Amino acid sequence: MAKQVSICVIGSGYVGLVAAACFADMGHKVICVDNDEARVKLLCEGGVPIFEEHLPELLAKHRGRSVVFTSNLGEAVEESEAVFIAVGTPQGDSGAADLSYVEAVVAEIARMIKNYTVIVEKSTVPVYTNDWIRRVLHRHGVGKDRFDVVSNPEFLREGTAVVDFLHPDRIVVGASNEQSAEILRRIYEPLTEGSYYAQPDAIQGCCTMAQPARMLVTTPQSAEIIKHASNAFLAMKISFINAVANLAEAVDADVEDIAKGIGLDSRIGSRFLHAGLGYGGSCFPKDVAAFHWVAQERGVNFQLLNEVRKINETQREVFFNKVRSALWTLRGKRLAALGLAFKGETDDIRESPSIEIIKKLLRAGALVTAYDPAAMEHAKETLATEENLKYAENVYEAAQDADAVLILTDWKEFAAIDLERLIRAVRFPIIIDGRNLYEPAEMQKRGFTYVSMGRQSSYQGLEAKPHKMPA
């Protein structure tokens, strides 16, 4: 049995809450802190503030026993051997990460440290944040023998966060000495030795007793860069296939076939080669910008990252122009917008391409009815001032009398629409699919005019291929 470690997790968002629940499931004693009193109250009373598979059952199992919630950071730090910082690191005006939440937390931690404590950067931060945390602790009078700072970036994806956390491709630990690395080894031992996977009620995934999770120990700087470089690389793959999609369309090729052909090369791999509206969310956009900023600061030319961002922004324009090409004018047109979250299986709408596109359509005079399986409450707050935007309870209600149906998020539910019911609901059978969830030939057979990304569109009867609208 691995030794239990007392852990404090600061921040109960997508990363902090998932980490807290998973550490508890791994056998540790966890205090999860947030300065959002309403969120702490909700968590204490049994609520789950984010939409993530397995999270409700893990919280139900451990809440009040091996994981507790509080807004009292001081007490939580005092009682913990390791303090994980999992607060937000949003994009600042210059493109650099805004680290003020991290600094504020470190200043608070400094007042409370009594015994040797490992401070762990779980938030995504630029290289040398580790040094800054050390410096802030010194400035607040914490002796250097009372703490170490370790980088332990998180690679989970929203929508599959719990499984990703407990079955990671790798656990990266950036430590400057053995003492602090050892505490992280103890924390992750149930995953790296495999004992977690032998538990009868363990969350299932790709790791097993025989093939447990791998840990890579590096310097703090390398660990910090691994996280930024990983996200930038994945964003680059998405922008690459989107640029290929636009080319494919211009030469009557099919990006789905091309992606398959590229992805079968084991050196490249098929993941993150899905043409669409581009990446969004709280991570890729800001991490690409922050990584680019770090390179610029150090005098390193990393222009590639700027191009990745530009291609991503272009995809929204590309889609908007497809809507205009299919519908001619937009004023007064009724559009069903399927999807508000930045990707399927999450309620997160931060930097969602869908939200940006809906706003643009509304500016152009369209009347939009939106539906999302989980993100409607968040969207209602963000889009509260929008007139001409309504919400529906399901796909078919959204599509009622619509001039066109737009697929904006790759929810599994949207890949399994009852097309016969849909065609009865709409005014015109036109689907503009920003996520390539259907086969053009099949959609044509079913009676739809179907426009997607990087593929030839299929039209019905007299609907000749329309001219591309000027940008």
Q: Which of 101, 116, 128, 272 binds ligand NAD (CB under 6 A)?
A: 101
- Report the candidate in 87, 131, 86, 137 with the shortest Cα–Cα distance to residue 111: 137
According to the binding rule CB under 6 A, does residue 36 interact with ligand NAD?
Answer: yes
249: Cα within 13 Å, side-chain hemisphere: 19
Contacts of 219 (CB under 8 A, 6+ apart): 174, 175, 176
Q: Which of 2, 11, 130, 311 binds ligand NAD (CB under 6 A)?
A: 11
According to the binding rule CB under 6 A, does residue 126 interact with ligand NAD?
Answer: no
**Choices 13-21, 141-149, 198-206, 419-427 (CB under 6 A): range interacting with ligand NAD:** 13-21
Cβ proximity to ligand NAD, 353 vs 440, nearer residue? 353
- Report the candidate in 423, 395, 390, 424 with the shortest Cα–Cα distance to residue 407: 395
Would you name the residues annotated as active-site residues?
Answer: 283
| Least Å from the CB of residue 309 to ligand NAD | 16
According to the binding rule CB under 6 A, does residue 283 interact with ligand NAD?
Answer: yes
According to the binding rule CB under 6 A, does residue 95 interact with ligand NAD?
Answer: no
Pairing of strands 215-218, 334-338: unpaired
Cβ proximity to ligand NAD, 129 vs 369, nearer residue? 129
The C-alpha angle with vertex 129 and arms to 123 and 134, in degrees rounded to 5, equals 110
Q: Which of 13, 95, 190, 454 binds ligand NAD (CB under 6 A)?
A: 13
Among residue numbers 169 through 228, which ones bind ligand NAD (CB under 6 A)? none
According to the binding rule CB under 6 A, does residue 86 interact with ligand NAD?
Answer: yes
**Choices 5-13, 272-280, 303-311, 352-360 (CB under 6 A): range interacting with ligand NAD:** 5-13
| Least Å from the CB of residue 7 to ligand NAD | 15
Phi and psi at 151, nearest 5°, equal -100, 130
According to the binding rule CB under 6 A, does residue 104 interact with ligand NAD?
Answer: yes
Single-letter residue type at 279: Y
| Least Å from the CB of residue 18 to ligand NAD | 8
Structure-block tokens of residue 166:
């407990």
> What is the sign of the dihedral through the CA atoms of 382, 386, 389 and 392?
positive
Question: What are residue 336's DSSP bridge partners?
Answer: 369, 405
| Least Å from the CB of residue 426 to ligand NAD | 34
Number of helices followed by number of strands (H, E) in the chain: 18, 14
